[in-house]
Amino acid sequence: MSETTHHIEIDDLPEDLRQIAEIIGLPAVLALSAHLRGQRLYLPPPDRLAIAARNRAIRDEFNGRNFRDLAAKYNLTVRWVRAIVNGENGPEGPADQQGLYKQHKLF
Going by C-alpha positions, the residue among 58, 56, 48 that lies closest to residue 101 is: 48
Structural domain containing residue 19: 1-43
Number of domains in the chain: 2
pLDDT digits (tens, 9 = 90+) for 83-106: 999 988 644 444 434 444 444 445
Are 51 and 90 within one domain?
A: yes
* 97 secondary structure, DSSP code: G
Are 71 and 30 within one domain?
A: no
- Report yes or no on 107 lying in a domain: no
Q: Model pTM greater than 0.75? A: no
pLDDT digits (tens, 9 = 90+) for 25-56: 999 999 999 999 989 888 899 999 999 999 99
